[in-house]
Structure 1
């Protein structure tokens, strides 16, 4: 029996039960919802969605659109179709919620953040997808992704022979699923693509999902985007060949160390404890050890600025420089290390954030020499030319460029 027939039988049984109970008004409401809901299509064509640089470029494009009393699912469907980007609405958000939206000449990324705010939710970017979910769910997702990345790095460090396996799990892939597909079916598709065994598939609850896509995601991202919506996560087993599904702990945190800046270690620890009471902050030798969620870690990192800081030629007020996206870039050089270009850009107020061990694990060498020839290029065009040869992804926010493999 196919999925459509099963769905019809379930609906008929539900209506019959309601009629037997004399709840005719509930039957009418159910019928009305079915009439307004999007049609169930089991064999949709794969959507043509952009990824990587084209995805990042799409987020910066202006959008103007208005909807009045329209379901959020229909709004996101329209945006996805016209802008050709993957939008993932967390299953814990009611897709039938009706909104009044008026976007006028703002970037697509800002527009999606405004839509999320009306749902008391927020957005984050994973792979080439904009994920929209409850505030706490987004924070948990970001922290889990950081933990899973650390888990694979630790596994690789303890087993040097697993380098090729780690590269396989880090490779970006895209996955598509149809109306009424179950989480088990989606996870099976991911597991088969990465040659992963799910040790306890019985932990996956039954559910029917609306169609969607996971664009340009690695193994950690794909698994987490699905399991997090079910309040589940996983542990890597058998040297990256299997996973064990488990419930998300009540407290999900990640540990990072920072160097104190501008004041003593004791004073910095005391100040951070007062500013971030939800974090566990202690002195570890000459460093500061922070155990907190990714959201809090980002705030502490911004406070302490422990990344490759501004050069000595930079003024103390970054606001003296225009945001990166408002600039134009002209540069013609040959056989110049990428790092040298980055250091020159730092003198104009631009700050680069990245994890050296993460780049090293991916085989990225910032001292690699490249040729660049751009004239009056916008930010995306310039950084595509700079970081494209190294297969580096970047995210721009104000004066900060965050780099990942």
Structure 2
């Protein structure tokens, strides 16, 4: 599990220079930013390009969605991810998922299986570490420029990127002919890019056990795959109920609020759809962005705070998109608390959020409620 190490000296931390496209944590932060969106009668492709420009997040439209489809979306101030959800909701049978590298919109089955395929193919590579030589493994995992030009053919896109990475595709003709619009994506591994492209044709790949070579194969919906779902404690009961209705004999291994399930890819699609339905029905507008290390309760933190006040620490957490709600924040009593110095042994090691936040704020606020998506502080 990743650890957020926080170093706070007075007023905060200098931000790094932005990359061409945000990925990982920066991606989730950008999509969590509130905007008001009004677009009436605009084409799908234009709306996605506008969002991509505003967010600095790559948005991949599945080839099966018509970019010229005219859609109407009008929102109040909501997280950008909600705008994407509403755009996908205007298209029958479409869905949205967020990966570490981009946002993807397309037919629901393809979208809900994509995270499972990305994870499964990553595990396939991980399992080859002791079988394949270092050079071959590096060719499959090294990050490459994942963009392509207008009117590019997906077969040629993969062949060009394979040549750059030093990877051999044994059967490129398995990729049907198509012509795609220009697309810019962040750098990613060749294996990751290949998954994103092949999924749009209901294809995936198998890697040779002794060299940097892959063979394109049809996706088998009956393949048994182990996958870990970052459910979150807020949604656990709802998700368990939905999953049990779909598959009464489903075996689930829980680690905190994360569920590990081994079942067919076909069943995983249904489970992931149910999970997204639970997230979307909840009050947490950022639930789509939750990752295995995304729950504040279970995520590890290491705090090094010197000469910082409670207010400065809260501001810093908020800039890191760790949601801190302070009840009656404008009251005189709370204003005085925000000026108090942090009272914490900074020599403490890594601790889960559910333990650390009460240690930080418990001496100052009567109630410290640590949830998956936020920390609520109050004097009640």
**TM-score (normalizing by structure 1):** 0.57
Correspondence for 1:138: 111
Unaligned runs of 5+ in 2: 1-18, 230-239, 254-259, 279-291, 299-317, 327-337, 359-370, 376-380
- Shift in alpha-carbon separation, 1:279–1:209, aligned structure 2, 3 A: farther
- Tell me, in whole angstroms, the C-alpha distance in 2 between the residues paired with 1:57 and 1:289: 28
Correspondence for 1:387: none
Deviation string 1:236-295 (CA, Å, 9 cap, x unpaired) is 11435011001111335412699xxxxxxxxxxx99984332875499xxxx97314166
Deviation string 1:89-128 (CA, Å, 9 cap, x unpaired) is 1111121211111122111112111111111322212232
- Shift in alpha-carbon separation, 1:75–1:231, aligned structure 2, 3 A: same
Once the two structures are TM-superposed, the CA of residue 84 in structure 1 deviates from its matched residue by: 2.6
Correspondence for 1:95: 67
Larger RCO (alpha carbons 8 Å, 6+ apart): 2
SS in 2 for 1:49: coil
SS in 1 for 2:323: helix
Once the two structures are TM-superposed, the CA of residue 163 in structure 1 deviates from its matched residue by: 5.2
1:346 aligned to 2:359? no
- Tell me, in whole angstroms, the C-alpha distance in 2 between the residues paired with 1:109 and 1:196: 35
1:193 aligned to 2:201? no
1:236 aligned to 2:244? no
SS in 1 for 2:350: helix
Question: What's the Cα RMSD here?
Answer: 4.2
Correspondence for 2:189: 218
Correspondence for 1:64: 36
Correspondence for 2:256: none
Aligned ranges for residues 298-309 of structure 1 at < 5 Å?
Answer: none
CA contact (8 A) 2:117 2:195 kept: yes
Correspondence for 1:403: none
- Tell me, in whole angstroms, the C-alpha distance in 1 between the residues paired with 2:176 and 2:145: 23
Correspondence for 1:147: 120
CA contact (8 A) 2:41 2:71 kept: yes
- Tell me, in whole angstroms, the C-alpha distance in 2 between the residues paired with 1:178 and 1:256: 34
**TM-score (normalizing by structure 2):** 0.60
- Shift in alpha-carbon separation, 1:111–1:124, aligned structure 2, 3 A: same
Aligned ranges for residues 30-41 of structure 1 at < 5 Å?
Answer: none
Aligned ranges for residues 184-333 of structure 1 at < 5 Å?
Answer: 184-255=155-226, 274-277=244-247, 281=251, 290-291=262-263, 292-293=267-268, 296=271, 324-326=322-324
Deviation string 1:159-203 (CA, Å, 9 cap, x unpaired) is 2x6456545533443321111000012112331233210001111
SS in 1 for 2:65: coil
- Among candidates 100, 120, 124, match of residue 97 of structure 2: 124
- Tell me, in whole angstroms, the C-alpha distance in 1 between the residues paired with 2:165 and 2:252: 39
- Tell me, in whole angstroms, the C-alpha distance in 1 between the residues paired with 2:344 and 2:170: 52
More helix by share: 1
- Shift in alpha-carbon separation, 1:274–1:347, aligned structure 2, 3 A: same
CA contact (8 A) 2:64 2:107 kept: yes
CA contact (8 A) 2:109 2:269 kept: no
SS in 1 for 2:186: strand
- Tell me, in whole angstroms, the C-alpha distance in 1 between the residues paired with 2:43 and 2:58: 18
Q: Give the length in aligned residue pairs.
A: 276
Unaligned runs of 5+ in 1: 1-46, 259-269, 312-321, 351-395, 401-405
Greater Rg by CA: 1
CA contact (8 A) 1:310 1:349 kept: no
- Tell me, in whole angstroms, the C-alpha distance in 2 between the residues paired with 1:231 and 1:222: 15
